[in-house]
Amino acid sequence: MKPRLSKKSVPVLATTLLMTAAFTAQGLSAGGFGIPDAQAKDQEKAERTWLAGDHHIHSEWSVGWDETKNPPQPIRGGDAIYPISKNAQMARSYGLEWMVSTDHGGPNHSKVNLEQAYPELLKSRQAVPDLLQFYGMEFDTPAADHSSLIIPQNKEESQTLYNIESQFNKRDPYPTDPKRDTEGNMIDALNYMKQLPEPPLLFANHPARSAKGLGAWGQDTPQEFRNWNDAAPNVSVGMEGAPGHQAGALNRDGSIDPNGARGSYSSAPTMGGFDQMTAQVGGLWDSMLGEGRHWWITSTSDSHVNWREGGSDFWPGEYSKTYVKAEKTYSDVMDGLRNGRVFVTTGDLINELDVTASRAGKAPAHAQANGNTASIGETLVLPGNNEKEVTVTIRLRDPNANNSHGDNPQVKHVDLIVGEITGAAADRSSASNPTTKVVKRFYEGDWQQDGEYITISYTLENVAKDSYIRVRGTNTDELEPSVDPRGENPWSDLWFYSNPIFLKQK
């Protein structure tokens, strides 16, 4: 048994409320658009740390529709039920530093977002001032499923989202316009977004939820992802690696529903809670990375209704977290998401993960990349000589603390995964990279431990081709994440994944 040390403190709702009261008592305001970046930079001293967040959260402005009216009228709380401020309070209480409010659309929903949801977001920013709260939506993606659309925080944010939703969201027109539900419209939307002064971000949500089986794609396809990323590589940057709705097998009293499916994936189940597009080594994600694409993964709650109230969802941060290496400013969190400084975890299995790749004989510089070292989301350029060894250093924090289920999970093994970059796929429907494999699996006897921190070092020899590395780990004994059966307790099957580091031959 490895040593377990001090308990970490978890922010609680009372703390949030006290801080809000303190701001009010002092006559301070977070500002109409949140804490200004300059002020936040002063507070954080421009130091990048791992900040937990969630970019897929629904409020009562994910409305239902009264279709007896013409046009259909929005029914507040008809789909998701919580005020934005309630989501923010719960996100903060479960340790999040940033979140995105992402209500989905329908007939003329662009006006609902502009006139009703956005003013509530501004109030929520003032009510919970120590949480970065981005404005966005769950985009009804033309010719595809849903996507998280994240709008940069600025004085134009409400109008920016209104312009995108009203012009391109496939469900916004009334009567329905079939021309909206085409891939051409999606490419037009991306071309519009990428030329904005501050481009938004777009992540494909629950990408294989509509799949009919393993590799039998539904509304989202590999071709679409390639087309989107080609059209706007600074906007369409990735997908949910682990979808929300992970509490689908939990009853209100915490007992197990034997028919509940994690992620609401009814036809093609998740694997260790992760979408098959991510979980399969050598699968779709590795196929994208094998082209050298900057295609990142995230993990979200997709919160609509909490499991304690009969829903299938965890609160933001209660189970899934997306960690971004960033200063605590809106702009740097966006920069971290755009550039892949991200790892994801479920069940608070870990709360820090630094991976560095260093040229032979060069010591890794933690938290900073230079010519000899690269970190998550970055590229290490290898010299044009015989010096082809790469030292990979993995440093993670396995906290000695109970998660929100009351468990203190421990990392059982960590996998180092390597794949080759072979160039553009001849077949744009490809979802395979046969070069990708687990090159080394590490167990407790293979690492050094100092309190809560685990350090692993491994040297890749003869790195002669452009390639990439990524890392994952679990609290289970599974060598590969298995298909999640109905009725699986999500707390028993936890994983974390890093985004890649690219290795490029000079």
For residues 474-501, average pLDDT: 98
CATH code for position 129: 3.20.20.140
Q: Could you tell me if 219 and 210 are in contact, meaning their C-beta atoms sit under 8 angstroms apart?
A: yes
> Which of residues 320, 346, 372 is at a domain's end?
346
Same domain flag for 170 and 319 = yes
CATH code for position 401: 2.60.40
Per the model's pLDDT, the better-predicted residue between 271 and 34 turns out to be 271
Which secondary structure element, helix H or strand E, spans residue 184, and what is its range?
helix 183-194
> Which of residues 346, 361, 382 is at a domain's end?
346
Domain assignment present for 16: no
User: What pTM does this model have?
Assistant: 0.90
Domain assignment present for 304: yes
CB atoms within 10 A of CB 373: 21
Q: For residue 25, what pLDDT band results from cuts at 50, 70 and 90?
A: very low
> Which of residues 346, 375, 401 is at a domain's end?
346
Segment 310-357, tens digit of pLDDT: 999 999 999 999 999 999 999 999 999 999 999 999 999 999 999 999
Range of the domain at 419: 353-479+488-505
Same domain flag for 136 and 263 = yes
Going by C-alpha positions, the residue among 127, 73, 82, 86 that lies closest to residue 103 is 82
Segment 98-154, tens digit of pLDDT: 999 999 999 999 999 999 999 999 999 999 999 999 999 999 999 999 999 999 999
Q: Is pLDDT of 164 > 70?
A: yes
Same domain flag for 274 and 397 = no
Same domain flag for 226 and 182 = yes
Which two tokens mark 417? 């995964």
Same domain flag for 330 and 385 = no
For residues 45-60, average pLDDT: 93
Going by C-alpha positions, the residue among 383, 335, 323, 384 that lies closest to residue 358 is 383
Q: What is the pLDDT of residue 364?
A: 54
Q: What is the pLDDT of residue 419?
A: 98
Q: For residue 249, what pLDDT band results from cuts at 50, 70 and 90?
A: very high
Segment 440-465, tens digit of pLDDT: 999 999 999 999 999 999 999 999 99
Q: Is pLDDT of 173 > 60?
A: yes
Same domain flag for 366 and 254 = no
Q: What is the pLDDT of residue 468?
A: 98
Per the model's pLDDT, the better-predicted residue between 6 and 41 turns out to be 41
Same domain flag for 312 and 399 = no
Q: What is the pLDDT of residue 361?
A: 67
Q: Is pLDDT of 306 > 50?
A: yes
For residues 158-179, average pLDDT: 98
Which amino acid would we find at residue 288? M
Domain assignment present for 37: no
Same domain flag for 341 and 360 = no
Q: Could you tell me if 254 and 407 are in contact, meaning their C-beta atoms sit under 8 angstroms apart?
A: no
For residues 215-236, average pLDDT: 98
Same domain flag for 334 and 411 = no
Q: What is the pLDDT of residue 384?
A: 76
Q: Is pLDDT of 26 > 50?
A: no
Share of the chain above pLDDT 90, in %: 87
Contacts of 446 (CB under 8 A, 6+ apart): 456
> Which of 126-135, 149-158, 167-176, 364-373 comes out lowest in average pLDDT?
364-373
Domain assignment present for 367: yes
Domain assignment present for 458: yes
Same domain flag for 357 and 335 = no
Per the model's pLDDT, the better-predicted residue between 450 and 23 turns out to be 450
Domain assignment present for 40: no
Same domain flag for 358 and 465 = yes
Same domain flag for 393 and 257 = no
Q: Domain count of the chain?
A: 2
Domain assignment present for 35: no
Q: DSSP states of 271-320 as a string?
A: BTTB-HHHHSTTSHHHHHHTTT---EEEE---BSSBGGGT-SBPPTTTSE
Q: For residue 368, what pLDDT band results from cuts at 50, 70 and 90?
A: very low
Q: What is the pLDDT of residue 348?
A: 98
Q: What is the pLDDT of residue 506?
A: 86
